[in-house]
Amino acid sequence: MEEDLKWISEVLSGDKQAYGNIIKKYKNPLYATIVRMTKNPQDAQDLVQDAFIKVYHQLEKYEQKGSFSSWLYRVAINHCMDQFRKKQYSLELVGVNEDSVVNPNNPEVIFLKKEKQRQLERLIATLPDDERMIILLRYVNELTYEEIGELVGMPITNVRNKLFRAKKKMRDTVIQEGGYFHELSNDR
């Protein structure tokens, strides 16, 4: 956080190169969120780039009341939502490439991981947009309840309730289909 504040101060003082540090730090997590929303890597790249331009122009509006990352996500996601309304995108989940597999030579391990990922993606895709967004922000971007609440503009209790309901819906769907998903059985 202090690192972010230092960079912000440098950018606002005229050092435009310092903004590159902010982009470097946040581009991958922001891209991961947006690509899951758009289901289109090219659109996601464009939206991330546009979002960083918007953040740059609004940097002086950051009041340091919450974490910078929450503010940045809020600006970026609001920008994306505006674009979704304009272009009538639908929020959907996209598959994630397997970056690391325990034993990449074991076809069974690869198959099971991909199958598990597909099942999870399918479950998340069945959720309403607001619950899907909260799930992604919590578990993909690893934001706190406070950061999510700040980002989506709702009290922390509502964030917790929506997260709980989303996980319950996913659990119920798995049970209804006669399956079991270990990660959904724990209260993570």
Q: Is residue 94 part of a domain?
A: no
The verdict on 83 and 113 lying in the same domain is no
pTM: 0.52
Domain end (from 87, 122, 137): 87
Q: Is residue 102 part of a domain?
A: no
- The per-residue pLDDT for 147 is 85
Number of domains in the chain: 2
- The domain containing residue 149 runs over which residues? 107-185
The verdict on 114 and 69 lying in the same domain is no
The verdict on 66 and 33 lying in the same domain is yes
Q: Is residue 68 part of a domain?
A: yes
The verdict on 13 and 70 lying in the same domain is yes
CA distances from 16 to 29, 49, 50 (A): 22, 16, 17
List, for residues 94-124, the tens digit of each pLDDT value.
444 444 434 555 666 566 667 777 777 788 8
Domain end (from 39, 57, 87): 87
The verdict on 78 and 125 lying in the same domain is no
Buried/exposed code over 101-119 (b: 16+ C-beta within 10 A; e: otherwise): eeeeeeeeeeeeeeeeeeb
List, for residues 41-69, the tens digit of each pLDDT value.
888 888 899 999 998 988 888 887 778 88
List, for residues 108-164, the tens digit of each pLDDT value.
656 666 777 777 778 888 888 888 888 888 887 778 888 888 888 889 999 999 999
- The per-residue pLDDT for 178 is 65
The verdict on 33 and 63 lying in the same domain is yes
Question: What mean pLDDT, rounded, does the chain reach?
Answer: 78
DSSP 67-103: -HHHHHHHHHHHHHHHHHHHHT-------------S-
CA distances from 129 to 33, 40, 45, 55, 126 (A): 13, 17, 21, 24, 9
What CATH number should be reported for the domain holding residue 53?
1.10.1740.10
Q: Is residue 37 part of a domain?
A: yes
Contact 134, 163 (CB under 8 A): yes
Q: Is residue 101 part of a domain?
A: no
Residue 17's pLDDT band, with cuts at 50, 70 and 90, is confident
What CATH number should be reported for the domain holding residue 177?
1.10.10.10
Domain end (from 54, 87, 120): 87
The verdict on 55 and 114 lying in the same domain is no
